[in-house]
Structure 1
Amino acid sequence: MFSRIFNFLIGMMFIFYGIFALTLKKINTKPGMAPITDLNFGYLWLIAGFLLIGFGVAFLYLSFRSEKRIKNYPLFLRCVGCGKFYNFSDVKENPICKACGEKLVKEDEYENAINQKEAERLRAERIANGIIKPKKSKRKVKRK
């Protein structure tokens, strides 16, 4: 975010310097420290003005361009069943554990997957003991 603001401010500065170079035919390189450069000979004022405006447009492009989302692949995957680690490059085509056959998940999703698996196991156990009833599917029947 700060780089976009910085690029915008630098771009506007270059554009203003370019406009001043084209209209006044002078460039103030360091205000108060260096003398004003007179560009009155030849077409140097045109070259400097358009170059400065070009740099300004380039910096404005950098500040308003859209950054493409780059998909970051995880370095390691972890098995939900046995907890074994796998390198992502080894199992990227088929993310299934070779030891137990469970699915492999990212490191940050591991806790959620374990909790979900435990909840499903507890629900199946309660249904088997008759504590709760299985959910009925709510399918809508289309009538003609």
Structure 2
Amino acid sequence: MVANKGRDTRPELLLRSILHRRGLRYRVNMRPLPELRRTADVVFPKAHVAVFVDGCYWHGCPEHYRPAATRAKFWEDKISSNKARDIETNRRLQESGWTVIRVWEHEDPSSAADKICAVVSGVPESSPAV
């Protein structure tokens, strides 16, 4: 478990690098709401946008998650509680006026950055990002 990083994972670093090259400035590993003990991976405080880069295993990706063979019940409960916490986090942030963007670790970082840039700049998602 020590090898599992809580921040600065490869998908996060790739996404942040692309966002920075596109001229966006952000905060890293910040609590969007100080009273809520949840940190977003990338935060745009002025735009009220919180980005979470979710690991496929830890957050139960419908495409890549494979149940553990050992201690299956424990891991099933753990992943279920992570998913429930993600839903609760989304709800609490949205109720406070934040836009939440969740990106799976397997997603293409460039297309994820396109989506984030569109939201931060206020362009509707159906329009092509600049």
TM-score, normalized by length of structure 2?
Answer: 0.29
The structure having more radius of gyration, on CA atoms, is 1
Greater share of strand residues, 1 or 2?
2
Greater share of helix residues, 1 or 2?
1
TM-score, normalized by length of structure 1?
Answer: 0.26
